[in-house]
Structure 1
Amino acid sequence: MDNEKQYLFDKPKNIQRILYLLYTCCALLVVLDFVIHRHVYHSWENLPAFYPIYGFVGCVILVVVASWMRSFLMRPEDYYGPVEELDNSKIEIVDVSDGHAKEANNNNKGDRNVDA
C-alpha cells in the first residue's frame, strides 16, 4: 500500500499552488480592466471593476434563488417509497477460483435466470 500512485491533487501543497495561480489570474484581470480600453454600450460598463462585481453579484443571486427554490422543490427522504433493509440471508458467496462458477441455489420468487 505504500507504493500507491500519487496524483496531482493528492498533495495539499499542489492545491495551494493552484489556488494562488487562480487568485493571481483574477487579480491580473481586475488590474487589466483599468488598463485596457473597452468599447461599451452602456454607461455603467465604464465603472471600475464592473464585470468582476457583476459576476460576483450574479453568483450570489443564483445561490440565493437556488436555496429559495429548495424550500418547495425538496421532497422527503421516503418520497419514492420506503427504503427496504438488506436481507443478508439471501446473499450467497460463490467460489469461482476453479474457473467454473457453481450454481447458486437462491431461486426465489421473481428471480430471473438469464443463463438457463
Structure 2
Amino acid sequence: MSDNHWLTRPATIRLLWIVFIAVLALTVAAGFWWPGEPHFEVERLFGFNAAYGFLVCAAMILGAKALGVVLKRRDDYYEERAHDD
C-alpha cells in the first residue's frame, strides 16, 4: 500500500478506533434492553458475552500465531526441492 492510502492516514485510523469503540459500547449497553436467555449462571453477568468474545478472539489469534510457528518454512523451501529432481 502506498503511504497515501486512506487506511494509513492517522485521521482515518483515529476515526475507525472511535467508531469501533462506539459500536462495542453500544453492543454491551444493549444488554440492558435485551438480556437474552442465559443457559448457565455465569451468562447472567453484565458484559459476559463481550468479555467471552474478546477472550476467545484473543485465544484464536494466539493459536494462529503458534500454528504459524509450527508450519513456517524457509523462503527457499520449494526451491531446494526443485533442484533435488
User: Which TM-score applies when normalising by structure 2?
Assistant: 0.70
Percent identity between the two aligned chains: 25
Q: Which residue of 2 aligns with 1:77?
A: 75
Q: Does 1:20 align with 2:30?
A: no
| 1:70 positional shift | 2.0
**Residues 71 and 47 from structure 1, CA distance in 2 versus in 1: closer, same or farther, beyond 3 angstroms?**
same
Matching of residues 1-116 of structure 1 within 5 Å: 9=7, 11-81=9-79
Contact 1:33 1:48 in 2 (8 A): yes
Q: Alignment partner of 1:38: what SS?
A: coil
Hey, which bits of structure 1, 4+ residues long, moved more than 6 A?
none
Change (3 A) 1:62 1:9: closer
| CA–CA distance in structure 1, aligned partners of residues 61 and 43 of structure 2 | 24
Name the amino acid aligned to 2:36.
R
1:78 shift after superposition: 0.8
Question: How far apart are the structure 2 equivalents of 1:14 and 1:35?
Answer: 32
**Count of matched residue pairs:** 77
SS at match of 1:81: helix
Q: Which runs of 5+ in 2 are unaligned?
A: 81-85
Q: CA deviation at 1:57?
A: 0.7
Higher Rg: 1
Tell me by how many angstroms 1:9 deviates. 4.2
